[in-house]
Amino acid sequence: MFKKWYLSVLVSFCLLLTVTAESLAQTSSDWYMAGANPSRTSWVNTQVDGNLIVEWYRPIEAYIPQHVQLVTYNNIIYVSTGKGLYALNAANGSTVWHFDTGLPMGHSPTIFEGKVYVGNHDKKLYCLDAATGQMLWSFNDAQAGYSVNPIVIKDSYTNNQPVILVGNRDGNFYAIGAHGHPQQGRVIWKYTIPNNSSIIMSAAYKDGVVYTTAMNNRLYALNVNTSNTQGQARWISGQWQGDPFMAYWPVIYRDKIIVSKSSDIKDGSRPGASSIIAPDGTSYTDFNGAERAAINAINPGNNTSGVDSVGEILPPTSWSGGYSVTDTQYAREYLEQPTPEEIQNDPVGRNRYGHKPWRREYYVINQNDGMEFTFDSDGDGLREYIPLLYWRAESGPMFPPAIGPNNLAYFTARFSRGQVMGWNLDFPSQLSFSDGNSYAIDEPLSISMAGNRVYTSLCCDRPAISFPITSGQQGIRYWWYTLSGSGKAPGYDEMWWVMSGAIDRHQSSYVGAKDWYGTADDGVKTTNASMNSHGVQNPLIPHNGRLFIHRSNAIIALGPGTAQGKETYLPIQNTQSAVVQPNLTALLENEIMKMINAGHLKAGYHVQNQLLAQWGQIFNYFTFPGDTLLALAQAYPYLSSGSKTSLANYIREEWSMYFYPTAYATRGFAEGADRQPISLPPEITADYANFGKSQTASGHSWQYPQHSIYGIWKYAQNVPESSRPPISELYQVARSKTQVPATTDTNVMTTTPYNINSWIAGYYGYLGLYTMAGSPPADATFRNSVQTELNRLLSWRASAFTKESYAYPDMRVQHKMDTSANFLWLTPELADYLANNISTKVNQALDEYLYLNQYWFVNRFENDMGESSTEHFHNYHALFLAKAWIRNESREELIKYLDVPAWERGDMYYIQNLVAAIEAPSNSGSTPTVTQTPTPVVILGDANGDGRVDGADYIIWLNHFNQNTSTGFRDGDFDNSGRVDGADYVIWVNNYII
């Protein structure tokens, strides 16, 4: 009894000596994680001054995603890439070490107490030695890859033990013991987002609470402590509007959290920007034009600040550092809450230019309750929001603000053009100006800060500058207007290709080091493109008197020293990654049941933008009913008996809705549930009603999607006739929609070869149904015509097959489909034909595509071609099936590239990928049936695993006291030392729940 009392007193005394709740940093000058620190303020205290020169620069062969930030620690630069992690000497760019991986890194690493923590798309979180790159251990229990930058904290909320806080694409947020923690490399707690909504935006942390988002566009405030509320949600926000949160992070600003919205309006499309109709009847093709027109309509025209401006210009104020401010009155009116009458009579906003709060670009959220911060500067009783307007690429998120030492948040903001502007929470209706530079508002800018200086870099290797937070001091231009044009780093962009006709590099692409023609002297490595730099951005990173940034896949070092020139590029070191094999049939069953529970679905709406320039006909997803029919029919054989019954009923309803008695080519948006249940602008949702199902599809070489007929055949093959319509009915629909002859237009083969794939799939489908229907004599001649056309198309497809992009050399955004066009709407039959007849050609194409697009399998990847931030969804499907069916890769190889669904429900591409993996040959020779055991959520001091630390756990500790053990916490060995002793008792007391 005395021993227990003594240890309790000792623990209480130790608690008095613990550090404060501030997270421990390396030093206040290290940019040791994305956003600089756990609060993601993008500010460090040590300013970098002077007219710096390019000291050195070094290209890297492996692709560096545009949103990945360089990380600095102890004069080393850490770089995450598509093939691993590199550590470079900050003084000269020499290689300190490299950690090679077969699959790409998810985001920037985090450095903490001499260790590197970084997530990979091989589902592992790695802990490396920061000085040597030696792998110390990895956390392997996540069920998907990582797209985020981890947080590592060590403060009083974690008992001064280092803890990793990181979200995963599997929909779980994990707290993991960092290096040296008693639970090192193991889950301390985890929080599962409802419906396992993927986490693809990094989190932020302050004072014992971690703030994370998910693809469902909610913000979760999770407790980080050792009490019984550990890992529980303090609050969950409402659902914010926009495409899913991605790429960046929430930013802590005083007692608020600022989250960047992702674009939710597709330019050039209905539903989309063309759904917006102004009060005067004007329609628009792009959101920028619609917003500009609205501001000008609200602006009375006699203001002093010019056309398109968001408000009047006012003299400097006490908080603006000597810079002028704007009252933002037009922006505030534009974003202000509608009146009750407007909400009732004009909910879409068709009859007004202002009062459209759904168009705000940032959400400012209270840390204490998760509610949005609003104000009422004009006293009219209507809520006003942070007065910031659009400045981004045509898809993706706004850049997160940087928080300065002057208590201002610095944003990429719109006045009449794009400018960096400061916002003060105490004066929320105003914005301060800054350096006077302005840019086009569809050209994204990045921001970082050090000391009293703001550093900015424009997209596409354009201006890099800095300016002071106080007016009157010198601004600095590091290069202007483009880095390549400045001549300061000749040859830095050897991994990049600037396209013909590009304006200041606005259309360009990563091409890497390989010359796919063996003719390096002509400067052409490939005609294909994959990733541009005109979307999400990375900023200048200050460190020890230098600035660092990556541009065109090269690390650029700016400093006060001597120019050292170009370092030899860092080549890819090929290696293999292994992943844990999931229970594929369980994953498949889960996806099917999500669809059944949701009911029938709309087509898929996703903001990608500029895909419409050439491929408007595949701008929306799963719009052809045959896409759904095929995927579900392929899944049917691998389900449990109960699920088979439910699915058969679901497919039969689909059949009645879209195939018989009327065969519809497209399903549209007018009926069904959303695949990604997030809030979209009212102009979009109101316009859904105008896009019902249709009997024809436009923009293709056929009026009815021929590959839908292939889906009908698989329905007949895989679902018993007792559970579906009779074969005669299925054949009747297929016969009526099979078109003969097929196209002979060579332009179709050249520009959209997937259209030919569709024809071929349809012909295989018809011939299969013809046989199943008993080979009707009346259709024998038609059947022969189909066979003749199939033979012609197969021969044509093989002879005309090319890996080259038709868009080369004169086109630009048309490159978006370069790596998927050949394999979209592929079937096993066509895959076999290509593999048997032109194996060398198709494998060369796949080699090149997979090299150029190292993140091809990551859905919603935040980099893209053209002027957008998010990649389209066709790559992760088309290339996966090409690997499965043309290369006949093993199941073990394919599951490395099996991501999570891109939609909360109804991702037909993911379902088909699952089926292809299930059907793939296995190195073990068996069908995957092993269910992964969920990772136990371990609470320190909880020996019996009941989720509480109480007397029962004390008895377990007491019974094993002074004994050696290998079973860890289950015997009371809470620090995992291998022995149950007094230190474990201290842990029990510290976590005891009274």
Report pLDDT digits (tens) over 753-773. Answer: 999 999 999 999 999 999 999
> Over the chain, what is the mean pLDDT?
92
HEC string of 828-852? HHHHHHHHHHCHHHHHHHHHHHHHH
The whole-number pLDDT of residue 948 equals 61
Q: Which long-range contacts (CB under 8 A, 24 or more apart) does 971-974 make?
A: 971/943, 972/943, 974/182, 974/940, 974/941, 974/943
Residues 775, 776, 779, 783, Cα dihedral to 10°: -10
What share of the chain in percent tops pLDDT 90? 82
- Spell out the residues 6+ positions from residue 726 whose beta carbon is closer than 8 angstroms to its own: none
Q: According to the model, what pLDDT value does residue 924 have? A: 78
Where do the H-state alpha helices sit in 160-303? 287-298
**Does the pLDDT at position 838 exceed 60?**
yes
Query: Is residue 923 within 8 Å of residue 235, measured between CB atoms?
Result: no
Dist CA 503 CA 498 (whole Å): 9
Rounded-to-integer distance, Cα 992 and Cα 940, Å: 9
Any bridge partners for residue 190, and if so which?
Answer: 174
CB environment 196-235: b (16+ within 10 A), e (fewer): bbbbbbbbbbbebbbbbbbbbbbbbbbbbbbeeebbeebb
Q: Quick one: DSSP state of residue 273? A: G
468: buried, middle or exposed (CB in 10 Å: 19+, 13-18, 0-12)?
Answer: buried
Least confident of 679-688, 724-733, 980-989: 980-989
CB count within 10 Å of CB 268 equals 18
pLDDT in tens, 389-399: 999 998 999 99
216 vs 903: CA distance, rounded Å: 10
At 813 the pLDDT is 83
Pair type for strands 313-314 and 256-260: unpaired
Lowest mean pLDDT among 574-578, 614-618, 621-625, 883-887: 614-618
Listing DSSP states for 606-668 in one string gives ----STHHHHGGGSSBS-SHHHHHHHHHHHGGGS-HHHHHHHHHHHHHHHHHHTSSS--SB--
* CB 145, CB 137: distance < 8 Å: no
The answer on pLDDT for 932 being more than 60 is no
* Model confidence pTM above 0.75: yes
Look at residue 191 and give its three-state secondary structure.
Answer: strand
Of 460-469, 673-682, 730-739, 793-802, which range is least confident? 673-682
Strand partners, 167: 173
Least confident of 622-631, 714-723, 804-813, 842-851: 804-813
Residue 682 DSSP label: H
Convert the pLDDT of each residue in 130-189 to its tens digit: 999 999 999 999 999 999 999 999 999 999 999 999 999 999 999 999 999 999 999 999
Which tokens sit at 179?
């290096």
Span between the terminal Cα atoms of the chain, in Å: 18
Domains by residue range for the chain, with CATH: 1-236+535-555 (2.140.10.10), 264-391+400-443 (no CATH), 584-919 (1.50.10), 939-991 (1.10.1330.10)
Q: DSSP class of residue 520?
A: G
